[in-house]
Amino acid sequence: MIKVGVIGGAGYTAGELLRILLNHPQVEITFVNSSSNAGNKLYDVHEGLFGETEMTFTDELPLDKIDALFMCSAHGDSKKFMDSHAVPSHVKIIDLAQDFRDESEGFVYGLPEINRERIKGATKLANPGCFATAIQIGLLPLAAKGLLKGEIHTNGITGSTGAGVKPGATSHFSWRNNNISIYKAFTHQHLLEIGRTLHKLQPSFSHDINFLPVRGDFARGIFVSQYTECDLEVEEIQKLYKDFYKDATFTHVMDANPDLKQVVNTNKGIVHVEKHGNKVLIISMIDNLLKGASGQAVQNFNLMFGLEESMGLKLKPSAF
């Protein structure tokens, strides 16, 4: 069994991660660190874990007793942790915050659709952002062939869990329900990692990604629609996408126009492409807490430890 520790164990992302790890056939959770919840049962915070575990949160960090460490703390805290703690060299690190997505300090960017082989050899991994994952899986095939020739226009709507567990003015139920709004127009922080990836695949890419993030009136999932100019015929585009993802474990290209419920509660990414005049329309979607966070983190963990990539991630039993 691979022994793992989790720090920052109280948020939505950590809750999903713990649910997956508790049911992962090759994992034993050694500790879940949360100083504010030390002594409480995991299910006191993550109620869905009742009946699955009697583990308690701890304020201790027995790093010498684990093989892998998942960091689920707030953005900025991962770097502080790494600067102030000596993590044993044998411990593999998976960071779910944005601190090392620029691949600084030896971290590998954990998007398996382009970095699978590098992830297999990684000891420190930076898990991608949720919007970044959903947007990138829609653009990677075009960038890999140098076909991004102009501006990209992107609209993405996300569930309220993307705002985190701490209540805020735009996340509590009475405001979010039956409501919708745009935030961080053209300035969302995930644009940095998206731009880095596209430039690596297509060094000539220098155009704007015009991204409008939208707060949705649902709990989980990300639905992205984006378009850009493309000279290929629709049949060529569809073949390009299917060839690019033919070996991807979780990202699938769908001929029919998809809907969000097809990915919610799964680690899947679904992509659909259409041609309208000289523009290609790309629809892509994921569950923000799974393929956009904890599910992808475990997918990367599996690759790092030489396990079957989908182990512990066949999550959804039905369509609804």
Cα distances (Å, whole numbers) of residue 164 to 33, 182, 267, 316:
18, 17, 19, 22
Q: Determine the Cα–Cα distance for residues 143 and 53; give it in Å rounded to an integer.
A: 44
Catalytic residue among 91, 130, 140, 240: 130
* Pairing of the two strands 209-215 and 152-158: parallel
* CA–CA–CA angle 30, 33, 35 (5° rounding): 150
Q: Distance between CA 278 and CA 126 in Å, rounded?
A: 36
Consecutive H or E run containing 291: none
Is 72 one of the catalytic residues? no
The tokens describing 278, both together, are 């000289």
By annotation, the residues acting in catalysis are 130
